[in-house]
Amino acid sequence: MIIDFNSLNREDRFPEILRPRTAGDAFVALFCLWWALLGLFSLFPQIDLAVANLFFLPEQCHALVKPDRICGFFPYSDDPRMRFLREVFFQLPYVTAFVLCWMLFQCWQHHGATFNKNRARSLKIALGSLLIGPVLVVNLWLKTFSGRPRPRQTDLFGGTLDFVHAGSFAGKCVTNCSFISGEAAAAGWLFCLIFIIPQPLRTAVALPIAAVSLLIPALRVAFGGHYLSDAVLGWLSSLVIFAALLALSQTTHNKRISEN
């Protein structure tokens, strides 16, 4: 049976970009892009070093420090206004997730004529991608076991650990490591929400959400908390997972329609 999207009830229709074929194509493209960028950063680690060096301020070491030791710090990380901004942004994705949970609960409370299946499905995709991406894959797996030191932990930027390139699990960081950025992944998840916000609200909030979503990982790089590769791959990882769940959800949903 061929599904005619134009004949579906309006509340069951996703925007063109969110339909199964488009979402599936987006997942494949984003997945390939993620691995291509990982390969690029692995082959050319000087990209990470050059960007981190832009925000690093060298200083003279104390007399007791070894002569070959590099001393310095990342001045943006000591700026109280920048630190406050980072704290606000750190909480934003999880405050948003709480609001989405409340909205989903409200959907379940209104089963019947007022139940919006499209909204409930979108909320479940959004919350599922947050749980699988930033929480499980990034924070509980990669950041726990990757071993990559943060810039400020490496001996090239005032720390004591050896630098390792993106994708390497040979670093000596013990826990809460640099690869990949959890905050960048949460920021990428915020960006994904643009695609499920209904019009006309989407047009009004898309630009502010996109700006905040890009500023969050930029701050982590400026603070010496992550290399550029950690931030880019962390941000992009959420788009990959969101597109995968979206394609899976829409394919399953439309299969059920075709069987009825």
What are 175-195's pLDDT values in tens digits?
999 999 999 999 999 999 999
The pLDDT score that the predictor gives to residue 57 is: 96
pLDDT at 65 over 80: no
- SS3 for the chain is CCCCHHHCCHHHCCCHHHCHHHHHHHHHHHHHHHHHHHHHHHHCCHHHHHHHHHCCEECCCCCCCCCCCCCEECHHHHCHHHHHHHHHHHHHHHHHHHHHHHHHHHHHHCCCCCCCHHHHHHHHHHHHHHHHHHHHHHHHHHHHHCCCCCHHHEHHHCCCECCCCCCCCCCCCCCCCCCCCHHHHHHHHHHHHHHHCCCCHHHHHHHHHHHHHHHHHHHHHHCCCCCHHHHHHHHHHHHHHHHHHHHHHHHHHHHHHHHC
The pLDDT score that the predictor gives to residue 7 is: 36
Higher pLDDT, 58 or 21: 58
Tens digit of each residue's pLDDT (9 = 90 or more) over 39-60: 999 999 999 999 999 999 999 8
Tens digit of each residue's pLDDT (9 = 90 or more) over 94-112: 999 999 999 888 877 766 5
Model pTM greater than 0.75? yes
Summarize the confidence of residues 101-130 as an average pLDDT: 80
pLDDT at 14 over 50: no
Confidence of residue 22 (pLDDT cuts 50, 70, 90): confident
Summarize the confidence of residues 188-210 as an average pLDDT: 93
The pLDDT score that the predictor gives to residue 184 is: 98
Pick from 16-20, 192-196, 222-226 the range whose average pLDDT is largest: 222-226
Mean pLDDT, the chain, whole residue set: 87
